[in-house]
């Protein structure tokens, strides 16, 4: 069956996949912290659907909420009670959130966050950070993964099909370099509509004072500061990375965990900025049109509400962080014993092993990673029944100490086997 599915995939899908994971695996089901492929093989799942399944696959409470909603209707293109309740929960949880606008994907949320910042500020340029991932829009795909990084603040397009003039709309700064970022913002403040940053950039934590410096300089010039919390929202703390790191932006984007495994994202932030979604408050010239067929649909909203209910329970984040730290420590010790230049980079709910020595504060430093070693380890982990992305371990509440122990053992075996191919 799997061979037939794979053959069909390569016939009807470009590259044989959905544009996400490679085409060599077809997932049939997921339960808790594990998934099973179409051939019946079980995997410990650190991919988690690229992050949404923080409480685990098919959590009974989330499933029950969804099954109760489906007979009552799946989408209405109008307000629904669950969506309103979820917006209220976001406002209560997230420090920057005074109002919320729902969308269906992280790409949409980041695109509209940049757009509403430009509308509020009356300026066209956005400053982002090299290596930062903000979805698949033209502006987001500037210097996200440049093969040959350029000179700051020049943007470099990452994709075919993007108009050349888009590079003129973006300014690029190095992550974790507060002095350079502040200097660029000061020099270009009259052109900048907003500054967007992942508080944890892919895997790289912010240095002490970096986010605070961005907060100070943007506030000084009245420039909206946007935290892209599509990944970190509700993952690092119930209030997201802004609660975890103690820095409050003007706007944030949310997704992944928010929808409990269903398509749902949001822009949240200050009411005076969010007012640009309301024609009655800003008039025709200031109005930002936003329409989405499935935005805030009730199925995703009830899944999100059930997920947030689970996350609010006492001890939830302590358990999540304990699991993550246990795996981080185990991988670190395995690399030390193997004598392999490696370090675990990230925070306990989200991290990976980078095969390089020295400080790794930004995208360019990360290019020192031994890609051949990483590919070998990931291949060995897959063969051992461990599913992860190319560069992330996502931790869930459903992962067990046995999962952690088995993963560390498989990782150590992968390191030991590298010498046979090196």
Q: For 161-218, how does the pLDDT look when each residue is reduced to its tens digit (9 = 90+)?
A: 999 999 999 999 999 999 999 999 999 999 999 999 999 999 999 999 999 999 999 9
Q: Label the pairing between strands 192-197 and 125-129.
A: parallel
Question: For residue 82, with 0-12 CB atoms within 10 Å meaning exposed, 13-18 middle and 19 or more buried, which class applies?
Answer: buried
Report the Cα 147 to chain-centroid distance in Å: 21
Instruction: Please write the tens of the pLDDT for every residue from 373-402.
Output: 999 999 999 999 999 999 999 999 999 999
**Fold agreement (2-59+315-418, 73-311):** no
Q: What is the pLDDT of residue 376?
A: 96
**8 Å CB contact between 158 and 226:** no
What value, to the nearest 5°, has the Cα angle with vertex 240 and ends 56 and 333?
A: 65
Domain range list for the chain: 2-59+315-418, 73-311
**8 Å CB contact between 198 and 347:** no
User: Phi then psi for 171, rounded to 5 degrees?
Assistant: -115, 140
Residues of the chain with pLDDT under 70: 1, 419-422
Residue 347's SS3 state is: strand
CA distances to 129, 175, 191, 210 from 188, rounded to whole Å, are: 15, 17, 5, 19
CATH of domain 73-311: 3.40.640.10
CATH level 3 topology of 2-59+315-418: 3.90.1150
Taken as a whole, the chain contains a residue count of 422
Q: Label the pairing between strands 42-45 and 34-37.
A: antiparallel
**8 Å CB contact between 396 and 48:** yes
């Amino acid at each position: 069956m799997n061979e037939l599915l794979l053959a069909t995939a390569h016939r009807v899908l470009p590259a044989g996949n959905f544009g996400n994971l490679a085409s060599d695996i077809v997932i049939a089901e997921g339960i808790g912290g594990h998934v099973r492929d179409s051939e019946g093989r079980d995997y410990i799942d650190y991919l988690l659907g690229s992050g949404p399944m923080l409480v685990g696959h098919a959590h009974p409470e989330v499933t029950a909420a969804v099954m109760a909603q489906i007979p009552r209707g799946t989408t209405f293109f109008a307000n629904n009670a669950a969506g309103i309740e979820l917006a209220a929960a976001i406002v209560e949880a997230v420090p920057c959130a005074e109002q919320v606008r729902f969308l269906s994907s992280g790409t949409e949320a980041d695109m509209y966050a940049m757009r509403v910042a430009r509308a509020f500020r009356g300026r066209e340029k956005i400053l982002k950070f090299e290596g930062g991932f903000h979805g698949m829009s033209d502006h987001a795909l500037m210097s996200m993964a440049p093969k040959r990084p350029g000179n700051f603040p020049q943007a470099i397009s990452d994709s075919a099909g993007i108009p050349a003039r888009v590079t003129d709309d973006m300014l690029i700064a190095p992550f974790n370099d507060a002095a350079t970022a502040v200097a660029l913002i000061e020099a270009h403040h009259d052109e900048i509509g907003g500054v967007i940053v992942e508080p944890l950039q892919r895997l790289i934590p912010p240095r002490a004072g970096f986010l605070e410096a961005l907060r100070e300089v943007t506030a000084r010039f009245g420039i909206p500061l946007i935290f892209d919390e599509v990944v970190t929202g509700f993952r690092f703390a119930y209030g997201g990375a802004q609660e975890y790191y103690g820095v409050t932006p003007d706007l944030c984007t949310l997704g992944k965990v928010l929808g409990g495994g269903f398509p749902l994202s949001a822009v949240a932030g200050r009411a005076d900025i969010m007012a640009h979604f309301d024609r009655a408050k800003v008039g025709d010239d200031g109005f930002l049109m936003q329409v989405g067929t499935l935005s805030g649909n009730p199925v995703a909203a009830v899944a999100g509400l059930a997920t947030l209910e689970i996350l609010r329970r006492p001890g939830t984040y302590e358990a999540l962080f304990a699991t993550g730290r246990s795996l981080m420590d185990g991988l670190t010790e395995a690399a030390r014993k193997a004598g392999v230049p490696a370090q675990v980079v990230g925070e306990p709910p989200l991290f990976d092993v980078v095969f390089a020595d020295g400080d790794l504060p930004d995208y360019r430093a990360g290019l020192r990673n031994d890609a051949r070693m990483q590919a070998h380890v990931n291949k060995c982990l897959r063969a051992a029944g461990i599913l992860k992305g190319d560069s992330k371990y996502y931790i869930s509440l459903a992962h067990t100490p046995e999962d952690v122990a088995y993963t560390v053992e498989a990782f150590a075996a992968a390191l030991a086997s590298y010498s046979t191919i090196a």
